[in-house]
């Protein structure tokens, strides 16, 4: 899936003029969601091809989004609604006069409908990976959620759930509940439920019914069988990000209703800001105004689309530039591999080439057998022309002619454009490409390609790759391997297990091990390529010790490739290969291994690599991501390494992390991240990611990550407890893995501008600390966070600056003037290390102690934030803000301590009673003694 907010290179004035001339309908082709005149257009909902056809599914999707549109319009105070929505029907469903797809595909969808491959649970969720105020990746609904009416009681009306998830996806806000921390101690030392707003009411329920909260909480944990049940009738109108299922909830928490004390993800990720504050700060709200009048917006319109036959055309550069650096040979090797191994069965494939003019080399052929694949390989270009000029538009024109032969239109087709030429006239065909309905994937070879070539891919929703002129680079084969059908059917797609290349000295060898795990193994192929001399000596051992040698490989000496196809399902385990250079000169040897899923019952592990933005300007870093999954479940504890290849110079390797620090926003969500800023030159960079996982450690997270809609266990209605059906477990039984796995994926290219030549001053600050936490024990406050680096998340920072304030707004808006904490004894550690710092708030500030007046209510809470500095005095952004309760009033005590208070009260009462009893006895004794004395005196007088 391509990130939604990728921005292409700066367009020429001519291209901008073309865009202005386009109709609104064309502007949405291949693009992300657009907001025009308060209405969202181009929202794409895609149904996974593994979902069984159901006649109720599409009507329920329409009903959900229609309901959501009116609810969203009200919740945003007449600001936005859904104008038009596309629903992508899988090709596996029956044809029903649906419209043909253009550039839409499953991988570009904003909303996906898919099962979790045999697991239980139907939580709608949004995959968020970037942080507060940033768009997410997609919303995921299960078919059962959309079809099972019984789930509405637990989640609320589907339209409300859609708005909850849309706020995650579009505006980057987070959940205001917390299943792991369902309650907290507030500033008055009282137990409160984690919620927003605090006005939402309910009661504690034990096994036998309602009960006081002290009976439900033991040592700050819920007693088994206890839960907090909310009243079905509420007066509170917020918040949608807490409990959208309540009928009274019609808005987001704002500054007046936001619960800053609740330990939820919204407060953590957005530094205690309300969801409405984040939403109104978005581009959607900055670029629009509320609608006038009292009328509701029109209901959304829906377009039903279905992909037809898979149609691909290779558009290949054969100009004189392709003779440089073995470009033509490497193109031939990669194109052959694509035709033989990657492109799916039953696809229609054609071939066109171009220099200054275009030429059709092969009309569309449907692939039904290996002979069809071999026939197409025979049409690949074998020589370059004498023409120095490159005309990309002429090649694309011929490509469109090829694919239009099938249905009269290029709708839904794919162009794979490979070029090394510096064509200055690409603008001439941008409009044609934009409106063709075809998706153009671009592969650029070398550093002389025109800067705006990738705009063809950006406009049509295609991928873009850069291949450096290095003999040991396998990037062109990786690029072809990355181009899939786009249907979302992972069981049919080719999966890359290995990609490596080395320049091997004479009488030396390239030796390595590739793991074929049990989830793959069908249609497994080992490809060996070389650039000079003859083939190397090849030796391959399977996990059982069976040996394959050069004679077992199919050699193509003209293309300098050797290929071994493993029949049936490859034996799972470690396969070891050795390539011996038996020649007298250096040899560039490369190995690629691909396979497909071994079973429709178990999804294979996959990796998707991408960058946050297509281009950046020095010194701004590029954020690199790798999404590692098995089905929809994140794979944790993997070793993920990114390799970044510049146009010139050596590649840079970078280990990616899933630790919830630095560039990584959410810990253990299967998305591994890192900052990249080691820019050698201005120009294009290519990204490749390797993933290795060892069976000695746990791999699958226990549940689907992301921001979920809350499932309500029950309600209090008319004083009665009404429980919903128990929520199905989302846990997954992890099958035994004996061998681990390995995966490779190309993440495409990005461009960097403005890199200074030669040495330059330090311009990279430490990265922002995003996981600051605080705990108060008696009079001390203990802070913890992950150490940033000298440069972003690499190296070691020089110092920390910790400040605190009684005012959240002050520390947000004016951090420099907040109260400074003494950190003279705090020395930063290496990036990625856990830091812990304890201080006394009253004693370590540079301000008088009377700033913290224990008699005032406001002084109960302080806000703390931190930033790091490097040796060049460059400062990181201010961290997330945490809050701490400093003072406890004399007349309040924690409810969990109530039992001890009662005991103290009883003991005190008993003591008082004892004293009273002793006093009474003493008085009684004294009175009796006085009486006796008086009697004696009277007796003496009588005598």
Query: Does the bond joining 197 to the residue before it have cis omega, within 30 degrees of 0?
Result: yes
What is the DSSP code string of 371-398?
HHHHHHHHTS--S--S-----HHHHHHH
Residue 534 has which token pair? 């003859």
Residue 52 has which token pair? 């069984």
* Maximum Cα interatomic distance, the chain, rounded to a whole number of Å: 158
> Is the dihedral angle over the CA atoms 358, 364, 369, 375 positive or is it negative?
negative
Under 8 Å between Cβ of 257 and 176: no
Query: Does the bond joining 619 to the residue before it have cis omega, within 30 degrees of 0?
Result: yes
What is the C-alpha separation between 739 and 574, in angstroms, rounded? Answer: 7
Cα 504 to Cα 555, 744, 756, distances in angstroms:
20, 22, 34
**Three-state helix/strand/coil letters over 701-739:** CCCCCCEECCCCCEEEECCEEEECCCCCCCCCCCCCCCC
> Reduced to 3 states, what is the DSSP secondary structure of residue 461?
coil
Q: For strand 439-445 and strand 414-419, is the pairing parallel, antiparallel, or unpaired?
A: parallel
Choosing from 67, 104, 165, 261, the catalytic residue is 165
Cα 213 to Cα 205, 544, 895, distances in angstroms:
8, 62, 8
Question: Angle at Cα 252 formed by Cα 247 and Cα 255, nearest 5°?
Answer: 135
Alpha-carbon radius of gyration of the chain: 34
How many CA atoms lie within 13 Å of 389's alpha carbon, on the beta-carbon side? 10
Who contacts 179 (Cβ-Cβ below 8 Å, separation ≥6)? none
CA-based nearest residue to 154, from 227, 232, 222: 232
Residue 288 has which token pair? 């629009």
Task: Detail the DSSP E strand segments found in 735-832.
Answer: 741-753, 773-777, 780-786, 799-805, 819-820
Question: Angle at Cα 670 formed by Cα 526 and Cα 440, nearest 5°?
Answer: 60
What is the C-alpha separation between 524 and 521, in angstroms, rounded? Answer: 6
User: Among this protein's residues, is 207 annotated catalytic?
Assistant: no
Who contacts 777 (Cβ-Cβ below 8 Å, separation ≥6)? none
Who contacts 207 (Cβ-Cβ below 8 Å, separation ≥6)? 225, 226
Q: Tokens 């109104």 appear where?
A: 280
Residue 792 has which token pair? 């972003």
Under 8 Å between Cβ of 424 and 390: no
Chain CA centroid to CA 212, Å: 41
Under 8 Å between Cβ of 607 and 628: yes
Under 8 Å between Cβ of 525 and 553: no
Give the DSSP H/E element, type plus range, for residue 100: strand 99-100
Q: For strand 414-419 and strand 311-317, is the pairing parallel, antiparallel, or unpaired?
A: parallel
Residue 416 has which token pair? 């794979």
Chain CA centroid to CA 119, Å: 21
Buried b (16+ CB within 10 A) or exposed e, 205-225: beeeeeeebeebbeeeeeeee
What is the C-alpha separation between 358 and 375, in angstroms, rounded? Answer: 21
Catalytic residues: 165
């Amino acid at each position: 899936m391509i990130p939604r907010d990728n921005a292409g290179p700066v367009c020429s004035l001519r291209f901008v003029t073309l865009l202005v001339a386009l109709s609104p309908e064309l502007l949405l082709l291949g693009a992300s969601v657009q907001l025009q005149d308060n209405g969202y257009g181009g929202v794409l909902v895609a149904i996974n091809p593994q979902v069984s056809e159901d006649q109720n599914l599409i009507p329920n999707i329409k009903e959900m989004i229609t309901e959501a549109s009116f609810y969203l319009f009200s919740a945003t105070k007449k600001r936005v609604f859904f104008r038009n929505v596309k629903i992508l029907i899988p090709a596996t469903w029956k044809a029903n006069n649906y419209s043909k797809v253009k550039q839409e595909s499953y991988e570009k969808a904003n909303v996906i409908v898919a099962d979790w491959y045999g697991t239980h649970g139907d939580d709608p969720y949004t995959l968020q990976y970037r942080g507060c105020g940033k768009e997410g990746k997609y919303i995921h609904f299960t078919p059962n959620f959309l079809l099972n009416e019984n789930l509405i009681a637990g989640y609320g009306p589907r339209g409300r759930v859609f708005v909850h998830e849309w706020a995650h996806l579009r505006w980057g806000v987070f959940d205001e509940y917390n299943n792991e921390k369902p309650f907290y101690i507030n500033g008055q030392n009282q137990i409160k439920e984690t919620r927003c707003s605090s006005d939402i009411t309910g009661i504690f329920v034990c096994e036998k019914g309602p009960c006081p909260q002290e009976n439900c909480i033991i040592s700050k944990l819920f007693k088994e069988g206890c839960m907090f049940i909310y009243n079905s009738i509420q007066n509170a109108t917020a918040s949608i990000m807490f409990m959208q299922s309540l009928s009274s909830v019609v808005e987001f928490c704002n500054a007046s209703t936001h619960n800053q004390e609740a330990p939820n993800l919204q407060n953590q990720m957005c530094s205690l800001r309300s969801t409405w504050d984040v939403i109104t700060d978005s581009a959607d709200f900055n670029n629009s105004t509320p609608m006038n009048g009292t009328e509701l917006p029109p209901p959304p319109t829906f377009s039903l689309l279905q992909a037809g036959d898979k149609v691909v055309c290779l558009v290949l550069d054969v100009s004189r530039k392709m003779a440089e650096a073995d470009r033509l040979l490497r193109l031939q090797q990669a194109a052959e591999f694509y035709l033989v191994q990657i492109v799916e069965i039953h696809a229609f494939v054609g071939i066109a080439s171009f220099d200054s003019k275009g030429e059709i080399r092969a009309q569309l052929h449907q692939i039904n057998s290996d002979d069809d694949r071999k026939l197409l390989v025979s049409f690949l270009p074998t020589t370059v022309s004498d023409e120095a000029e490159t005309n990309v538009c002429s090649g694309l024109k011929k490509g469109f002619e090829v694919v239009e032969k099938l249905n009269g239109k290029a709708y839904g087709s794919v162009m794979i454009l490979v070029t090394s030429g510096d064509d200055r006239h690409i603008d001439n065909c941008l409009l044609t490409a934009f409106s063709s309905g075809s998706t153009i994937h671009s592969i650029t070879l070398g550093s002389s390609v025109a800067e705006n070539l990738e705009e063809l891919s950006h406009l049509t929703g295609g991928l873009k790759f850069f291949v450096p002129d290095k003999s040991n680079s396998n990037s062109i084969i990786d690029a072809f391997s990355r181009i899939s059908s786009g249907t979302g059917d992972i069981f049919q797609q080719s999966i890359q297990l290995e990609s490596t290349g080395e320049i091997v000295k004479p009488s030396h060898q390239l030796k390595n091990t590739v793991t074929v795990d049990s989830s793959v193994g069908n249609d497994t192929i080992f490809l060996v390529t070389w650039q000079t001399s003859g083939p190397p000596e090849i030796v391959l051992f399977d996990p059982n010790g069976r040996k394959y040698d050069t004679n077992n490989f199919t050699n193509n000496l003209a293309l300098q490739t050797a290929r071994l196809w493993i029949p049936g399902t490859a034996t799972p385990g470690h396969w070891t290969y050795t390539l011996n250079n038996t020649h007298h000169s250096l040899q560039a040897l490369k190995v690629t291994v691909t396979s497909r899923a071994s079973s429709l019952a178990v999804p294979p592990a996959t990796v998707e690599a991408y960058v946050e933005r297509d281009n950046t300007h020095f010194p701004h870093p590029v954020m690199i991501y790798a999404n590692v999954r098995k089905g929809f479940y994140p794979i944790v504890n993997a070793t993920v390494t990114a390799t970044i290849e510049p146009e010139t110079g050596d590649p840079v390797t970078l280990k990616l992390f899933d630790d919830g620090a630095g560039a990584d926003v959410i810990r253990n969500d299967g998305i591994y991240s890192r900052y990249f800023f080691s820019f050698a030159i201005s120009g294009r960079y290519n990204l490749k990611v390797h993933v290795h996982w060892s069976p000695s450690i746990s791999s699958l997270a226990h549940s689907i990550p992301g921001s979920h809609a809350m499932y309500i266990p029950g309600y209090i209605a008319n004083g009665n407890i009404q429980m919903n059906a128990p929520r199905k477990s989302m846990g997954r039984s992890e099958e035994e893995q004996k061998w681990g796995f390995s995966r490779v994926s190309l993440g495409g290219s990005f461009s960097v501008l403005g890199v200074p030549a030669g040495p330059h001053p330090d311009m990279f600050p430490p990265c922002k600390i995003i996981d600051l936490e605080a705990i108060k024990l008696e009079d001390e406050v203990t802070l913890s966070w992950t150490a940033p680096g000298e440069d972003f998340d690499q190296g070691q920072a020089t110092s920390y600056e910790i400040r605190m304030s009684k005012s959240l707004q002050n520390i947000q808006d004016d951090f420099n003037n907040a109260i400074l904490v003494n950190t003279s004894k705090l020395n930063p550690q290496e990036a990625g290390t856990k830091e812990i710092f304890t201080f006394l708030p009253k004693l370590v500030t540079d301000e008088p102690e009377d700033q913290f007046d224990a008699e005032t209510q406001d002084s109960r809470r302080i806000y703390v934030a931190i930033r790091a500095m490097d040796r060049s005095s460059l400062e990181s952004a201010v961290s997330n803000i945490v809050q701490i309760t400093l003072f406890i009033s004399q007349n309040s005590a924690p409810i969990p301590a109530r039992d001890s208070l009662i005991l103290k009260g009883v003991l005190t009462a008993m003591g008082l009673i004892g004293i009273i009893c002793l006093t009474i006895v003493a008085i009684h004794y004294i009175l009796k003694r006085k009486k006796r004395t008086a009697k004696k005196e009277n007796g003496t007088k009588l005598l």
